[in-house]
């Protein structure tokens, strides 16, 4: 699954390559699209009376269930075949982390009939269940379904008890006697609603011949298959699936497998699909709607199709090309053919995540799949390539070999993130995608420097906790430690070991330890001991490097943004270079400290200590997931090497990112950070400047509260750094310019507008005025529109709202998801708080799809934060009603983290004290910690004696 937004910008098109993310998956309901709405299952037929009588006898009531008992601490997962616990009643199954293992599904035969007008569906399930130990109960998942109690049978036996536990989303069937061991068929009928929450079996709206239509779509990851059909909704319960759909004759109906046969009888088309291989419930998929497609074929003969709304299939050509190449590359890399007979990729108008890797039927946001040569930005092209490669990597790493439990989610997402870069680098080497991968590493390092982070292997005690771990730890840190391990083992050894792992665990489930065992066996290296320190504990180290005589002394300590040092200890793969990249030293730092004779780093290094060419760089090309803090002498030498253009692009990024983090933690001064930033004033590389841009905007934001009297000068200094490369690129694309230059242009223009550069703002306003009257003008191509839109919003007020109205008109008239997102992301970037409120209130209208809410929040800044906070407090009940639980966490992140005082943190904490939900609890805690980190950074900045003098000195330099 690809998150809804990623660290490389947004679909609004600021230019940094989009992998769909700004913070951690802010509005991503995990992969699910998640949450809100009622979760009560209503029992049909005679069931309500039966269950009510049963529960009343047990001291509960199905219509107003008593609060569940406190959850017990989770026990280790039992083996698949295990003796069941001694149970006296269905209540014994409440509050468990996982379903009991004494019965498991082997095959689902499902029949579903969606009604796209009434937005309901009916279904019937016949599940072959293997009972492996004595029990009189069957326990499985169901939510938001009305189950006909009279239809429930197992081996022709009717259950004596039918009990639904809402909080746990489980249905317990109790029979009079122990069930026979072996296989039997569990059958039942049910119905439900095609909801508008982008989870389970839901409806998406689209326009066809001027009329709004409904599309039926599934989104089951992480725990939402249970909202479509009763099932054992955990990754380890793999089974085969045989689906039959009943739909109107004119509709296209897709599922994981090809069509086996279909018939039309009057107003109903009945489609039966081939039986699937063993797979987990979260990978089952259905799409029903009016669609068209284009198709291609891999060299191995696998047919790939891209499905879109009618009239948009031509925009799927680029994704189709990447898809064909990806399946071919992965077949070779994993040494295993693509397992299914076909692959469909479908653009969905309403989709909470970026994309979802359903086996053989991958679903995407439109903006993550469709590319139009005339109206799409260059960053969109890169995002599409990354997203397609990510999802298709899952067909092996996730679908063929599946994590055993959500604790091991990173095995899916970390590897798919890493593999997507490997693939795209192969297809488009000119994009320098591995350099851009440092965006992901930076996102992981940022989140993992909080006390409220979590380990890569995070304990999941309840289904309600799963969605919150689809974040920068599972994805970005996961991918980064994989890159670190590959660098340590070597690319060839690593690839061969991964291929062995895939073959060994194909069609089954695996834990992290299983991967380490294979890698250790094939490489002969102590992989488990090394990697356990990175996956089972949260955080990472900062390596303090000091030069004492001819020795380099290294010491590790856990790095935290609040300035404290944790107790973590890692086995750290250290790489070091001295004076050049020709020779490097590689070794494992296994304890708290070590020392190196600098002659061991490079033969000539010892003779250069006193010379001008001397420098030592640790973590060469940022392959390690750690930060480095150098002493003054080493730091000065590195800055000289930077200015002398002796460092690699990746190392340039690492140095500024480490310095930024150390400044935030008050381990270095903002003064030293500004001097370092100034050393990049002649930089021209896209990846380096995109990081300089992010750090610069962070400095500008904190200076508003830390040094209000100096903020204008600090912004002018930052403009001085970013303006030269922007002037060189200009507003207009050049003939045959590189992909990276096309990405860089909007990054710089947007930054200059945000920093208040008058000339850039005026030019943006001019071009926007021309664009309003001529949408096809060459003066404002897709890449630079966001900068112009932001510039136009600078002059908007309640009494002068022409540009605002023009932007709304562009939004309403556009049929392109990317353009709509671009407009939304600029509407709150306004000095008039009444306009900000008007823009925020658009989120309660039908004009903005729920999936796009975070684009509107992106436009908020320090000037509008109080307005946004008052709006959030006053609108919380409406937000909770309209948006999912996990999306609520996104509202919190975007608004709360605009502040930087402990007093505000207390205010936020008080407000949410009575509004807590498990689905956004982690997001709230992380946001509050970020506010307190900013407050501490401000106090550190205010104590710096030479800050103002340094700013003036740098401004005066030619």
User: Is residue 379 within 8 Å of 15, Cβ to Cβ?
Assistant: yes
CA neighbor of 793 nearest in space, from 751, 817, 823, 773: 823
Give the Cβ contact number of residue 91 at 10 Å: 17
Query: E-strand spans in 155-258?
Result: 161-165, 170-174, 182-193, 200-208, 211-219, 240-247, 252-255
Structure tokens at 175: 């029979």
CB-based contacts of 65, cutoff 8 Å, min separation 6: 55, 165, 166
Tell me the CA distances in angstroms from 647 to 325, 612, 672, one per residue in order.
Answer: 34, 15, 19
- Burial (CB < 10 A; 0-12, 13-18, 19+), residue 474, is buried
User: Is residue 450 within 8 Å of 538, Cβ to Cβ?
Assistant: no
Can you tell me the distance from the alpha carbon of 414 to that of 455, in angstroms, rounded to the nearest whole number? 13
- Please give the full DSSP string across 698-764, using - where no structure is assigned: HHHHHHHHH-TTTHHHHHHHHHHHHHHHHHHH-SSPPTT--HHHHHHHHHHHHHHHHTT-HHHHHHH
Give the Cβ contact number of residue 432 at 10 Å: 18
Q: List the alpha helices (DSSP H) in 774-901.
A: 782-793, 802-813, 817-824, 833-841, 853-858, 865-882, 885-896
- B/e letters for 591-623, b = 16+ CB within 10 Å, e = fewer, are eeebebebeebbebbeebbeeebbbbbbbbbbb
Can you tell me the distance from the alpha carbon of 824 to that of 102, in angstroms, rounded to the nearest whole number? 51
Distance of CA 23 to the CA centre of its chain: 9
Label each residue of 46-71 as H, E or C.
Answer: CHHHHHHHHHHHCCCCCCCCCCCCCC
* 829 labelled ligand-binding: no
Length of the chain: 958
Catalytic positions, written as ranges: 391
Can you tell me the distance from the alpha carbon of 388 to that of 359, in angstroms, rounded to the nearest whole number? 14
Helix-strand-coil split of the chain, %, nearest 5: 45, 20, 35
* 390 labelled ligand-binding: yes
* 816 labelled ligand-binding: no
Q: What is the edge-to-edge ordering of all strands in the sheet holding 259-265?
A: 42-44, 145-154, 182-193, 120-131, 103-115, 240-247, 268-273, 259-265
User: H or E stretch including 291?
Assistant: strand 291-297
Can you tell me the distance from the alpha carbon of 801 to that of 804, in angstroms, rounded to the nearest whole number? 5
Structure tokens at 957: 């330099």
Three-state secondary structure call for residue 661: helix
Give the Cβ contact number of residue 67 at 10 Å: 6
Dihedral in degrees, nearest 10, Cα atoms 668, 673, 676, 680: 150
Angle between helices 782-793 and 378-393 (to 10 degrees): 120
CA neighbor of 571 nearest in space, from 613, 525, 610: 525
- Please give the full DSSP string across 191-213, using - where no structure is assigned: EEE-BSSSSEEEEEEEEETTEEE
Pairing between β-strand 286-289 and β-strand 268-273 as defined by DSSP bridges:
unpaired
Pairing between β-strand 240-247 and β-strand 161-165 as defined by DSSP bridges:
unpaired
Binding residues for Zn(2+): 390, 394, 413
Binding residues: 390, 394, 413
């Amino acid at each position: 699954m690809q998150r809804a937004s990623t660290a490389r910008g947004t679909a609004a098109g600021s230019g940094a390559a989009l992998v769909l993310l700004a913070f951690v998956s802010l509005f991503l309901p995990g992969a699910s699209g998640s949450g809100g709405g009622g979760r009560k299952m209503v029992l049909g037929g005679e069931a309500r009376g039966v269950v009510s009588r049963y529960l009343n006898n047990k001291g509960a009531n199905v219509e107003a269930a008593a609060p569940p008992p406190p959850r017990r601490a989770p026990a280790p997962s039992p083996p698949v075949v295990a003796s069941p616990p001694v149970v006296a009643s269905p209540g014994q199954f409440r509050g468990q982390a996982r379903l009991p293992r004494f019965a498991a599904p082997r095959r689902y035969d499902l029949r579903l009939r969606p009604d796209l007008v009434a937005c309901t569906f009916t279904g019937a399930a016949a599940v072959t269940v293997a009972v492996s130990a004595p029990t009189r109960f069957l326990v499985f998942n169901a939510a938001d379904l009305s189950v006909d109690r009279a239809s429930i049978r197992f081996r022709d036996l009717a259950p004596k008890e039918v009990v639904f536990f809402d909080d746990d989303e489980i249905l317990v069937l109790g029979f009079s006697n122990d069930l026979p061991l072996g296989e039997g068929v569990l059958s039942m009928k049910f119905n439900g609603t095609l909801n508008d929450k982008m989870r389970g079996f839901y409806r998406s709206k689209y326009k066809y011949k001027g009329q709004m239509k409904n599309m039926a779509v599934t989104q089951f990851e992480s725990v939402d298959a249970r909202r479509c059909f009763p099932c054992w909704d955990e990754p380890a319960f793999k089974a085969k699936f045989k689906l039959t759909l009943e739909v109107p004759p004119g509709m296209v109906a897709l599922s994981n497998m090809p069509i086996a046969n279909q018939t039309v009888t009057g107003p109903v088309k009945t489609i039966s699909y081939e039986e699937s291989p063993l797979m987990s419930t979260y990978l089952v998929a259905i799409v029903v709607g009016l669609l068209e497609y284009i198709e291609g074929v891999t060299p191995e003969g696998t047919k790939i199709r891209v499905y879109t709304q009618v009239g948009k299939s031509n925009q799927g050509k680029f994704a189709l090309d990447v898809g064909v190449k990806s399946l071919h590359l992965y077949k070779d890399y994993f040494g295993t053919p693509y397992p299914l007979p076909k692959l469909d990729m479908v653009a969905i108008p309403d989709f909470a995540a970026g994309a979802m890797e359903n086996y053989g039927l991958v679903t995407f946001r439109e903006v993550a799949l469709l590319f139009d040569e005339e109206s799409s930005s260059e960053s969109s092209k890169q995002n599409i390539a990354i997203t397609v490669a990510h999802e298709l990597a899952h067909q092996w790493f996730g679908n063929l070999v599946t994590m055993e439990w959500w604790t091991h989610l990173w095995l899916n997402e970390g590897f798919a993130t890493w593999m997507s870069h490997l693939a795209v680098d192969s297809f488009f080497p000119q994009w320098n995608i591995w350099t851009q991968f440092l965006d992901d590493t930076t996102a992981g390092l940022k989140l993992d420097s909080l006390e409220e982070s979590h380990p890569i292997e995070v304990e999941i005690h309840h289904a309600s906790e799963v969605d919150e771990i689809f974040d920068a730890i599972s994805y970005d840190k996961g991918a980064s430690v994989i890159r670190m391990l590959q660098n340590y083992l070597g690319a060839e050894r690593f690839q061969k070991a991964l291929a062995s792992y895939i073959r060994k665990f194909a069609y089954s489930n695996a834990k992290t330890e299983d991967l380490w065992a294979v890698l250790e066996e094939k490489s002969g290296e102590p992989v488990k001991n090394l990697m356990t320190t990175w996956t089972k504990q949260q955080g990472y180290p900062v390596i303090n490097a000091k030069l004492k005589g001819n020795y380099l002394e290294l010491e590790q300590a856990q790095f935290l943004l609040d300035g404290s040092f944790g107790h973590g200890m890692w086995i750290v793969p250290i790489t070091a270079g001295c004076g050049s990249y020709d020779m490097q030293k590689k070794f494992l730092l296994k304890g708290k400290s070590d020392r190196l004779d600098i002659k061991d780093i490079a033969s000539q290094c010892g003779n250069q200590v006193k010379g001008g060419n001397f420098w030592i760089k640790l973590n060469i090309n940022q392959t390690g997931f750690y930060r480095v803090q150098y002493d003054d002498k080493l730091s000065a030498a590195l800055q000289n090497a930077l200015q002398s253009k002796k460092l690699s692009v990746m190392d340039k990024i690492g140095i500024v990112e480490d310095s930024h983090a150390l400044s935030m933690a008050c381990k270095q001064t903002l003064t030293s950070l500004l001097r370092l930033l100034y050393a990049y004033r002649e930089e021209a590389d896209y990846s380096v400047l995109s990081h300089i841009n992010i750090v610069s905007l962070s400095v500008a934001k904190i200076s508003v509260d830390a040094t209000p009297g100096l903020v204008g000068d600090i912004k002018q200094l930052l403009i001085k750094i970013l303006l030269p490369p922007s002037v060189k690129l200009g507003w207009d694309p050049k003939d045959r310019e590189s992909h990276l230059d096309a990405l860089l242009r909007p990054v710089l223009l947007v930054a200059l507008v945000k920093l208040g550069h008058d000339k850039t703002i005026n030019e943006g306003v001019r071009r926007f005025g021309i664009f309003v009257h001529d949408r096809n003008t060459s003066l404002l191509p897709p890449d630079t529109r966001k900068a112009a839109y932001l510039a136009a919003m600078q002059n908007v007020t309640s009494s002068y709202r022409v540009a605002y109205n023009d932007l709304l008109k562009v939004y309403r008239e556009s049929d392109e998801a990317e353009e709509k997102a671009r407009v939304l992301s600029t509407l709150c970037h306004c000095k008039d708080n009444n306009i900000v409120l008007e823009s925020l209130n658009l989120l309660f209208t039908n004009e903005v799809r729920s999936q796009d809410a975070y684009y509107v929040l992106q436009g908020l800044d320090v000037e509008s934060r109080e307005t946004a906070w008052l709006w959030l407090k006053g609108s919380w009940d409406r937000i909770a009603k309209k948006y999912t639980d996990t999306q609520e966490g996104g509202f919190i992140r975007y608004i709360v983290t605009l502040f930087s005082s402990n007093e505000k943190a207390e205010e936020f904490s008080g407000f949410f004290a009575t509004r807590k939900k498990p689905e956004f609890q982690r997001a709230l805690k992380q946001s509050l910690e970020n506010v307190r980190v900013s407050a501490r950074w401000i106090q550190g900045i205010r104590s710096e004696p030479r800050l103002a003098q340094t700013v003036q000195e740098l401004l005066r330099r030619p």
